[in-house]
Structure 1
Amino acid sequence: MCHRTRSVTNPYRVITVSQASVTGNNRAGGGNGSGHSGHTGPVFSSVAGYYATHAKDWGDIIPPFGNYKGLNSTGALPGAPTCRAMSAEEFYNVQREAGVPRSEIITDLQEQGAIGDPAPAELATLVYTASDSTLAAEDGEVQPQPTTEPQPSPTPVPTAEPQPTPTAQPAAAPEPTATPQPTVDP
């Protein structure tokens, strides 16, 4: 099925869900309209500028199955880019960029029951991870800053340790030498 978003550039997310998720009866019988069949509204309009003056409030597209007649469908789902596969994280980012509050997106993802999505507790931890720094800050996610390649520090040239200059020692006074005495031969 194609689950509606509120993004005019990514209007639908293709997901696979259980039949009970569509009818809202959750196998209890009778249906209560709280499933995807309760996501009524017209099909997304691709007319340029339409949503500048109209609410972004289109409905899901659900093909018929069993006794269910379908919603906004003639039997075949529209293809990409109108209805395309996207992860829960990408859906979250698309919705945030479309102006949907975080809490509404988390609730929507938890109610979608899409096969392959993370567990509800994990969905509750999603934060904006795309390129809009304002949205990232609102979600409390710090965007990684570009890193520059570390530059090597110049190798310091060792300098010679100053050596003490030896002080001159006074020369010792010369010792007197004996003057030889002439000898007489007897």
Structure 2
Amino acid sequence: MTYRVNSLADAPDANPGDRKCERAVPGGTRTGAPDGLCTLRAAVMKSNASVWKDTVEVPGGLYQLTLPVAAGGGHLPITDGVKIQGAGAARTIIDGNHADIVLYVQNEDLELNHVPVQGGNSQAGGGIRLYAGSSEFTNLVIRQNNALTGGGGLYLANGALLKLRRSAIL
């Protein structure tokens, strides 16, 4: 299934199991908007809840992960195979707001295209942490991330495999 992000906000999905990407609003109610607001976090939650590899299309914009870790925010966990397709390295940016890892891939595959990842901060793997699985990054820039023990931009563990094409880690 393909989820199309249409909101720059950082909000979880109202009901991850219903296959409809729709952000939760304060109080846990749905948005009520006829077109629905699908955030990047909500789309990733939808993909994680499915049993097949989904695609998340992310249009141009700065997607800051501002939801506090204590409120279920922080990094975007990838627990099921997903393709995240951006609109171009100069147009679509995922920013961790220097609060946590930006993307944490847990035993699954991540295909990441045309999306810079920046502003991550963690013990290890500030930008992207690959914890097993096989991932592929194309036309990607990983920049301005920090880690205390290693892998400021990118950290691979537990036999994680990565194919990197036309990409840079700065």
TM-score of the two chains, using structure 2 as the length reference: 0.23
TM-score of the two chains, using structure 1 as the length reference: 0.22
Higher relative contact order (CA 8 A, sep 6+): 1
Rg (Cα) greater in structure: 1
